[in-house]
Each structure stands twice: as C-alpha cells, then as structure tokens.
Amino acid sequence: MSPSAGGLVVFLLSVQVIQSQDGWGVNYRQTDICAVKGSTVYISCIIKHPSGKYPSDIKDRFWFTKEKDGEPVDLRTDSEYSGRVEYDCYTKGCTLIIKDPRKSDSAEYKFTFMTSKSGEKYTGSPGVTLSVKDSGFQVQVRRSDSTWLELTCPSSCVLSDRAEYDWSKNGEIIKRGSSLRVSSGSTDRYSCYLRGSWDNGSPAVYGPWRPSVSVSPSAEMLEGDSLTLTCSTDANPAANYTWYKEAGTSDPRILSEKPQLIFSSIQSSDSGRYFCTAENQLGRKRSEFISINVKYGPRRPSVSVSPSAEMLEGDSLTLTCSTDANPAANYTWYKEHGTSDPRLVSEKPQLIFSSIQSFDSGRYFCATENRLGRKRSDFILIPVKCE
C-alpha cells in the first residue's frame, strides 16, 4: 500500500511479536514511530494464526489506546480521532491510518481481535508507541562549490525513504524532492514542507540583504567623544558581521567581528571610510561606505626657516608655520615687541621677507586657531647681519 500525500514518518526498531499459547498472535511492523504534525501515520500489524485455524475465524478486530470498564475502545468510536482514523484491513493483517496527527495522539496503540469461538479474544501487548512532534524542519545549507548551494530538510523525526518534500521560493512551490540546489548569494526565501502539509513547514532561509549602517550619536564628532557604528541586515540564518576600515591601496583592515564598532574615545587617527559586511551560509553582502570625520583643535604649530643659513641684509627669507587641525586652522605671525604686546605682522601660514633688513631682526612666533582652540609656536630668533 502506498502512503497518502502526507508521507510516512517512521523510526524503525525490531519487529514485536505477540503470540498466544495456542498460536494466535500479532506481529507489529514497528514498535516505536515518530511522526510530525501534518503528516499521515501508518501503524501496521500481521495476525498470526495457529495450525488448523484460519483468518476467517476472526470475527471482530480494531485498534485502541484506551479502555472503558475494562474493555478496549475502538478508535473509530473515539471522538478525539473523529474523521482522522481509518483501517485498511486484509485477511492476515490490519493497518491503522491516522491523518493530521496531533501531539495529543502520542500514546501506545494496540490491536485486538476476537475469534468465532465464544469469549476468545487476543490483544497485542505491548503495543506500538507513537510520538507526535512539531516538525522541527530546519533547512540545512551545504556549499556545493563557489557558485551553488544544496539545501536539505531534516526533521526532528527520522523520516522514511518514502517521505516527499515540497520546496518553495518566496512562497511559491518550485520543486518536489529531497533537496534543492540554489545559487550562492541569493536573497530569495526558501522553505521546505512535508508534501501536503503546508501548515507545518520550515522557517524560510535566505542570504543577507545589503546591510545598513547607523551612527550614534549623529552629531559632529569631536576628539575624545564616544561613537558607535551599528551594522544591521535581514537574514536567516542570522548573519555574522565584520567591520573594515579603508586602507588606501592595500586591502581594507578588519576592525571588529561584531555588529557594533565602538569608539569609547575617538581620535583624529580614526577619521576615514568604514564599511561592514553581513554573511551567512547562503551569501555575503557589504554596506556602503560611511565617512567618519573627527574634528579637533590645532596641535602646537612648528616653524621652518628657509634658507636656514646665516641671514645677511638683502637676503630673502621665508618662515613657514604648520599644524594639524580639523577644521583647518587660520595662521597669524607675530614679532616680539619689547614690553608691549607682540606686533601682528602677517595672517598667512608664511611670513616672507623678500629683502630682509637689520631692523627685521628679532623673535617671532606664529599662532594657529580654529573654532575648537588656539595654539602658538615656540619663539624663533632671526638675527640679520650687516655686510
């Protein structure tokens, strides 16, 4: 007999034989059966008869799990199985068919029969233990090669070789079979079902969508502030995350393998372009770049002198002030002026003397400033000699 659309769910153990002293008995094909909700269960037995007796001597036979007043209750009369139980009996055996099994159907099932001899009754005991479980279907992914993946559909029960599966893509059936081949990197949603049981399928599996990045706080970043970048996507199985920082012409540098990249005290060296990747067994996607621009006040400026040789009247001389700042600093040059305040001599990075004179001798310094702070250089002494 072939199974119905629900498929057969069985876990095979040794055949159980129940034999009476005079030769009547019952062979159960399986003593333990595991079934999933939404399938169809088949519990079968073979009736043994003694020499000189014939199956036609059997007058009544049925399956039961309960007794009432010491007598077994035919499952066909049990309201809990109404419309879900059938018998497929033949001369030497009988199969119990339970459609759409429920967890409450988990029980020990026994077969009993009566012969034409008054009061002669036989029950196969112990019976067959049925365990009904949630499907536990969980699509498993195995990589075939760099391009293709193979999906399989194991269950919480050991399914028979006759069990059939339907595979869906984005909610539509696309194939029947024990496995499904799909391309790597797909974001389509794949699920499997025991054929004929659409209410009891696996969670959909799919590769990650392109991840998005959020920045907290979103305000301007100042050196020393804390900053958190969060990478997120939709994927099943859940994606693993990796954070990278762009590194010029070399490969990006891995910074973290967590969804969040956290800077507890961000520094100017942390400025740059970042991105994250999300990956599971079905594929890998990367986010767009996010630029981090850390603002800070000027560092203490340095001064270079060109040329650096001894200065004579009429020579040219250039003093250059430089610093590191974000936003860029403004520059101011000053000359020490006795006991009074230093005299402003330029508001450019360079102080240029095209023909230096003796009265230009003195001590100079530069100041750098942006909206986040101000720093000044050390003094530099410029001595000018007369020829």
pLDDT of residue 44: 93
Residue 22 belongs to a domain: yes
**CATH assignment at residue 96:** 2.60.40.10
Q: How many CA atoms lie within 13 A of 239 on its CB side?
A: 26
Total number of domains in the chain? 4
- Condensed to tens digits (0 to 9), the pLDDT of residues 168-189 reads 999 999 998 888 999 998 899 9
* CA–CA separation, 9 and 160 (whole Å): 6
Question: Does 26 share its domain with 78?
Answer: yes
Q: Is the pLDDT of residue 218 over 50?
A: yes
pLDDT above 70 as % of the chain:
89
Residue 31 belongs to a domain: yes
- Condensed to tens digits (0 to 9), the pLDDT of residues 309-345 reads 788 999 999 999 999 999 999 999 999 988 889 999 9
Question: Does 344 share its domain with 250?
Answer: no
Residue 201 belongs to a domain: no
- Give residue 40's pLDDT band: very low, low, confident or very high (50, 70, 90): confident
pLDDT of residue 7: 40
* CA–CA separation, 213 and 231 (whole Å): 5
Select the more confidently predicted residue: 120 or 359. Answer: 359
* CA–CA separation, 155 and 33 (whole Å): 14
Q: What is the average pLDDT across 91-105?
A: 90
Domain range spanning residue 190? 140-194
Greatest mean pLDDT among 39-43, 179-183, 369-373 lies in 369-373
Enumerate residues 6+ apart whose C-beta is below 8 A from 155. Answer: 9, 36, 135, 136, 137, 194
Whole-model pTM: value is: 0.69
Q: Cα 36 to the chain's mean position, in Å? A: 26
Question: Does 171 share its domain with 236?
Answer: no
pLDDT of residue 162: 57
